[in-house]
A and B are shown apart, each in its own frame.
Chain A
Amino acid sequence: MAHEHPPDCPLSVHDLTVAYQRKPVIWDVDLNIPEGKLVGIVGPNGAGKSTLLKACLDLIPKTSGWVHIYGQPYRTNRHLVGYVPQRESVDWDFPVSALDVVAMGTYRRLGWFRPVGKTEKSLAMEALEKVGIAHLSGRQISQLSGGQQQRVFLARALAQEARVYFMDEPFAAVDAATEQAIVTLLQELRDSGRTCLVVHHDLATVPQYFDWLIFLNLRVVASGPTAEVFTEDNLRKTYGGKLSLLDHAAEAIRRS
């Protein structure tokens, strides 16, 4: 039992239950995620994927259980964590530029009261370059396309200079070029030893993008290397009777 949750794990979750108004949204989740993996979190709508991310980041209260980031509670190790929320979670008409938003990734290191300076701006600029939209740094964020907005969010997470990243549907409603850019970026992060947990919806691309998978539907159906757990059996257990989806996935399995 002592080795059930190795302390050097980027993310270990123990017996986590989260409930809204006494109704459990995720139930008894137990996870150990190894370092340097691209981890896909998949499951049907309402399976609790975003809830799992938010509970890991202390954004919503846990009913029971605990979450450790590199062996410590989130509060202690928040400097090791980067977060990409769902794109719809903010008001894109807010009067800030792309650079302003990316610079927000540096705020934790700045701490309270210290204003954004040259160092932070150049860090933000570098992050924008990495996602390929440095030329749009001065633009107000409502004047960016959906794909560009998603890139801004990714750049902001890069500016956090984290070791483990939590991303809530970064591929939702983006164009093909952006999707490819995000995949390349994720692979670069993985290759430099970072761990990325990504909520993902498109089963067809799952085996191609991720090397570790968490199948979630209220409980963890399966968690492990993609080669081992991406099976029809696990898909059926996770998605139940949604057959059209399963056909789609079965095809992906054949291709992989």
Chain B
Amino acid sequence: MTWTPDDTWIAATGALCALACSLPGCFLVLRKMSMMGDAISHAVLPGLAIAFLVTGDRASLPMFLGAAATGVLTAVFTQWITRFGNIDQGAAMGIVFTTLFALGLILIVQAADHVDLDPGCVLYGAIEFITFDTISLGPLEIPRAALVNGGALLLNLIVIAALYKELRLGSFDPGLADTLGFSSGLLHYLLMTLVAVTTVAAFESVGSIIVIAMMIVPPAAALLLTRRLLPMLLLSSAIAGGSAVLGHWAALVLPPMLGFERTNTSGMIAFTAGLLFTLAWIFSPTEGLLKRHTAASGPPGDPA
């Protein structure tokens, strides 16, 4: 195996994207709406298509805004259907994102003569080719994908650091949040905006499979290893970043060993996250499979 500077950029971009996704993902998992990342990553398609049809070119900014707007709309529609249709949130999410995704497909076929929005590329992305599209910053040639995902990560870090206590309160007890004057609706849509922006940033550069995996798998694994929010965010970030680096490395090493020519880095990164989750599941100090076999008693609890 030869690890080139390009590989460093690919792994770094994967890690930036994984970190950016796993941070809002922790709050999604805690709010029991993990599939929102999946829903939004599909639902942004009509936003991309409409932005293209309106502006007529693939300039990034209008596409980005169009997609992010549809992402947030997914959350709005889901909320409406849940509240007024008396339908559970999972089903409402499914209705909204499949409808929007289908609309996106129809629009893309309409526009197919003019645009190369390849549905396959949308799904597992083209992280291997990010070094062909770079932006010069002084002496450095930085892949555009690294900057976009780094930007999303920075945005998530700033918002979560600034509103840590508000997001925690809104996720744990939205009723109390409202009575204290912290609108739980506002916090919900703020989180949904972060998810949408992160999804679009990642989707455009590295494909949606990393988004879907990184919003759920590292937070869920972290929750098996700790019972505190801050350690959960940190562990989840470590697992996400680790998956990206290990995943790309495995994508280089494994195929020659198994006699294949090449494999897909995005897929390998997501798969690695799944493996790390399995390890967390086996070795978790509280819920782990090993723990269950070795100790018959549950966690300590004093009688009142």
Which A residues contact B (CB, under 8 angstroms)?
A: 54, 57-59, 78, 81, 83, 85, 89-91, 94-97, 100-101, 104, 107-108, 110, 112-113, 115-116, 136, 140, 142-148, 151, 156, 174-175, 177-178
Contacts and interface: CB of A to CB of B under 8 A. Distances in A.
Given A115-B164, A140-B227, A175-B303, 11 more contacts: A81-B179, A85-B173, A90-B172, A91-B30, A108-B180, A115-B165, A143-B299, A144-B301, A145-B301, A151-B304, A174-B304
Interface string B193-235: 0000000000000000000000000000001001111001000
B109 to A, nearest CB: 41
Nearest to A174: B304
Contact of B303 (A59, A107, A140, A145): A145
Contacts of A58: 178-179
16 contacts: A54-B175, A58-B178, A78-B179, A90-B173, A95-B226, A95-B227, A96-B228, A100-B168, A104-B173, A107-B165, A108-B180, A140-B228, A142-B227, A146-B304, A148-B302, A175-B304
Nearest to B303: A145
Nearest to A21: B86
B85 to A, nearest CB: 12
A54 B178 CA distance: 11
B172 A96 contact: yes
B162 A113 contact: yes
Contacts of A89: 173, 175
B interface SS class: helix
A142 B223 CA distance: 13
B182 A107 contact: yes
A131 B179 CA distance: 22
A81 B176 CA distance: 11
A5 to B, nearest CB: 22
Q: Counting chain B CB atoms within 10 Å of each CB, which of A96, A110, A177 scores highest?
A: A96
Given A59-B175, A112-B166, A107 B180 contact: yes
Contacts of B30: 91, 94-95
B218 to A, nearest CB: 14
A255 to B, nearest CB: 27
Contact of A94 (B166, B171, B300): B171
